[in-house]
Amino acid sequence: MSISSEQVTHIARLARLKTDPEKSEYFAKNLSRIMGLVEQMNQIDTDGIEPMSHPQDTALRLREDVVTAKNLREQYQALAPSAQDGLYLVPKVIE
């Protein structure tokens, strides 16, 4: 399975990673190699096997509906690249 640089550009866009033709070309090569390794999965027949998402066969634990969180806004927003009036600032969101 080889991945083209166009595919890399598309994936990078979905993943919000800036790319350029050179970078896409470079990643296309090593991603293709990795996908070659991944293709080895097809050696094994998995018909009728139930997919396994969790290493344990457990059920979700549910917590009681209680407010436990304190307002730590100032502490958290001290970490932000840009914040004002209690809001996180980002370049304009266009709808």
The four Cα atoms 72, 73, 79, 85 give a dihedral, to 10 degrees, of: -160
Which tokens is 20 given?
């350029």
* Of 2, 4, 17, 21, the one binding another protein by CB under 8 A: 17
Q: Does 39 bind another protein (CB under 8 A)?
A: yes
Residues 41-80 that bind another protein (CB under 8 A): 41-44, 46, 49-56, 58-73, 75-77, 79-80
* Of 2, 6, 21, 89, the one binding another protein by CB under 8 A: 89
